[in-house]
């Protein structure tokens, strides 16, 4: 046991052949040759955590097949068999797993998908329990900037087919479409005070997003499958808009006129600030995430104030407030930065994001685990097939596309 060839220890430490070992590394080698190592290797039956270790071992034994498959799949994508995976150096950063995802994300092009497809197909001959390969029929493209504007007189304008420039004038307010796919409200003449402002609605379909600058200069990014109701001008004592779905607000400061967002019975009050409101009907929750400034969240007769990096979740008549880390904040705002978030999302919420952005139906088969081991984000401009390939690098849930429905089921 004493003879460990030098080359092997160098490789174990990830060093080149002639690099000398550090003191710590020498110590580790010494452990192995002196017998200390075999002491570490073994677990004492009297160890208070013996059951915990046995339980973990059990779990790992049960999932090792899947882990191996996902390792093989990743290496097939990168087309470099068993490239080293760097080990995380920082305790909080999950670099190991993330790198597997990232490697996949970067290199998966047409070639990558092709390679993976072939790899799995070839492999089916040897593997006793083959996975279903997502069958690619036709490409489903990601969403893009598109929306429908409904004017006060119920006239609808499909912003997708409208050239840039002034698209309507209502009550002295000029509505124009700008080149970077947004609409802007601005006064075209002397605003008559006291007149009732007219209501407009901006609606994004599934697979669409849009940006609007309101009469007071506040900007709202509207996520897919959402709608925003707002007046063409804010003439009253406050600025009230109503949202269904998800939007990111950058509210222009005006202390004399509080800005209110109504969302499914929850009211968010602000003066000037940046925050995200998520209020899809399917969620049955309204989630307000504050980036900076200060907002109050009101539900029934409850009113709570949140600070930056906090999130208020209203459901029923309760408002819960949670502190969010920097990572969790960027997860909550991933959509606005053009990303699909996977970190900490359930299978349901990953599918919800896909449904809204790719305009597909979704189905979860019974027995599917509620969560996955997936971490990181996927760019929203990725074609759906590639997204599914990336999702399938996880070990517990299989995502397949059947006609226009993304189906999640347990990996066997």
Least distance (Å) between residue 412 CB and another protein: 17
DSSP state letter for 132: P
Q: What are the helix (H) ranges across 168-260?
A: none
- What angle do helix axes 110-123 and 50-78 make, rounded to 10 degrees? 120
Closest to another protein by CB, 105 or 263: 105
Q: With contact defined as beta carbons under 8 Å apart, do 242 and 261 qualify?
A: yes
- The DSSP bridge pattern shows strands 148-150 and 199-204 to be antiparallel
Identify any residues that bridge with 239 across adjacent strands, giving them in sequence order.
259
Closest to another protein by CB, 88 or 133: 88
- The DSSP bridge pattern shows strands 405-410 and 318-323 to be unpaired
SS3 258: coil
SS3 400: strand
Rounded Cα–Cα distance for residues 120 and 76 (Å): 9
Least distance (Å) between residue 90 CB and another protein: 5
SS3 121: helix
Closest to another protein by CB, 57 or 114: 57
- The DSSP bridge pattern shows strands 148-150 and 144-145 to be unpaired
Q: Structure tokens of 196?
A: 């009732």
Residues that bind another protein (CB under 8 A): 1, 3-5, 7-9, 11-14, 24-25, 28-29, 31-32, 36-37, 39-46, 49-61, 64-65, 67-68, 71-72, 75, 81-91, 94-97, 126, 373
Least distance (Å) between residue 64 CB and another protein: 5
Least distance (Å) between residue 370 CB and another protein: 16
Rounded Cα–Cα distance for residues 212 and 179 (Å): 12
Closest to another protein by CB, 37 or 133: 37
Would you give the end-to-end CA distance of the chain in angstroms? 40
Closest to another protein by CB, 87 or 129: 87
Least distance (Å) between residue 31 CB and another protein: 7
Least distance (Å) between residue 129 CB and another protein: 13
Closest to another protein by CB, 100 or 177: 100
Least distance (Å) between residue 394 CB and another protein: 13
Closest to another protein by CB, 53 or 114: 53
């Amino acid at each position: 046991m004493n003879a460990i060839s030098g080359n092997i220890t160098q490789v174990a430490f990830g060093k080149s052949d002639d690099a000398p070992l550090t003191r710590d590394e020498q110590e580790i080698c010494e452990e192995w040759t002196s017998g200390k190592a075999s002491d570490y290797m073994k677990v004492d039956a009297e160890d208070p955590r013996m059951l915990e270790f046995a339980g973990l071992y059990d779990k790992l034994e049960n999932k090792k097949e899947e882990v191996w498959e996902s390792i093989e799949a990743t290496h097939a994508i990168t087309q470099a068999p068993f490239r080293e995976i760097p080990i995380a150096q920082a305790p909080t950063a999950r670099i190991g797993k993330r790198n597997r995802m990232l490697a996949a994300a970067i290199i998966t092009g047409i070639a990558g998908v092709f390679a993976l497809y072939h790899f799995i197909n070839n492999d089916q001959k040897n593997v006793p329990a083959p996975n279903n390969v997502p069958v690619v029929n036709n490409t489903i493209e990601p969403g893009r900037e598109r929306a429908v504007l409904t004017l006060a007189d119920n006239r609808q304008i499909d912003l997708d087919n409208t050239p840039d420039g002034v698209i309507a004038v209502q009550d002295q307010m000029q509505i124009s479409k700008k080149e970077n796919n947004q609409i802007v409200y601005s006064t075209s003449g002397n605003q008559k005070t006291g007149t009732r402002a007219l209501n407009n609605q901006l609606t994004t379909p599934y697979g669409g997003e849009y940006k609007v600058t309101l009469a007071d200069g506040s900007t709202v990014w509207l996520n897919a499958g959402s709608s925003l109701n707002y007046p063409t001008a804010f003439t009253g004592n406050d600025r009230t808009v109503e949202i269904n779905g998800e939007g990111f607000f950058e509210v222009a400061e005006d202390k004399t006129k509080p800005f209110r967002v109504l969302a499914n019975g929850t009211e968010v009050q602000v003066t000037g600030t940046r925050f995200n409101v998520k209020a899809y009907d399917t969620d049955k929750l309204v989630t307000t995430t504050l980036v900076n400034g200060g907002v109050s969240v009101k539900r029934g007769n409850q009113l709570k104030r949140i600070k930056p990096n906090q999130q208020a979740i209203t459901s029923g008549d309760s408002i819960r407030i949670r502190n969010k880390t920097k990572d969790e904040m960027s997860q909550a705002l991933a959509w606005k930065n053009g990303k699909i978030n996977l970190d900490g999302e359930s299978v349901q919420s990953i599918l919800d994001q896909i449904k809204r952005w790719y305009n597909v139906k979704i189905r979860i088969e019974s027995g599917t685990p509620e969560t996955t081991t997936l971490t990181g984000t996927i760019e929203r401009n990725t074609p759906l097939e590639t997204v599914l390939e990336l999702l399938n690098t996880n070990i517990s849930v299989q995502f397949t596309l059947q006609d226009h429905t993304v189906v999640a089921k347990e990996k066997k």
